[in-house]
Amino acid sequence: MIDNRGAAVEPLPRRERSARFDGPPASAHRESLAGPDTDHAVRTQLAGLRHALPGVRGCVVAGVDGLLISHDLTGDPEPHDLAALAATTFGLGRQAGLALRHGPFRESTVHSHRGYFAVYAVSETVLLAVLGDDGLNVARLHLEARPLANRLADLLHVRTA
């Protein structure tokens, strides 16, 4: 991979699915654990957001450990990479919340020059990440993503954050 300054960039490290996280997210339904019906319902919800909001390129649902649960992305970027980025963003947000005594992580929005990356807590162990263009109506995204996160928590049978 070559970045825009012409320097070589290492591809993002990718954890193998076999290297499972043994920690708490037993309640988080992994791709393999979520039944096909649940996965279909989750993908329908994600596609609903993409259709309702111009500028949304796609979403991923991921565990806080960075493993992918579901997504509705087509092509670039790789959904596993976005799942890892969601967990990284969550980690930073959680540390800020802990250090400032603001309580558990709720959401974090990264606004870069060419786009948005927003991460919402679905539960203590599950995240929703949304990738958007720079022209995205981010106020509307916040209004629509919060109820979406609640619906995903119901579908995945995880406790709402």
Binding-site ranges for another protein (CB under 8 A):
135-140, 143
Residue 140 beta carbon to another protein: minimum distance, rounded to whole angstroms: 4
Closest CB to another protein among 90 and 116? 116
Closest CB to another protein among 38 and 109? 109
Residue 55 beta carbon to another protein: minimum distance, rounded to whole angstroms: 10
Query: In Å, how far are 8, 54, 152 from 14, measured between CA atoms?
Result: 18, 30, 25
Greatest pairwise CA separation for the chain in angstroms:
46
Query: In Å, how far are 76, 105, 131, 142 from 82, measured between CA atoms?
Result: 10, 18, 9, 19
Closest CB to another protein among 82 and 118? 118
Closest CB to another protein among 18 and 112? 112
Residue 139 beta carbon to another protein: minimum distance, rounded to whole angstroms: 3
Closest CB to another protein among 49 and 69? 49
Collapsing DSSP to helix, strand or coil, 143 comes out as helix
Distance in Å from the first CA to the final CA of the chain: 37
Residue 5 beta carbon to another protein: minimum distance, rounded to whole angstroms: 27
Residue 141 beta carbon to another protein: minimum distance, rounded to whole angstroms: 8
Length of the chain measured in residues: 161
Count how many Cα atoms sit within 13 Å of the Cα of residue 76 in the half-sphere of its side chain: 0
Query: What's the CA gap between 50 and 118, in Å, rounded?
Result: 14
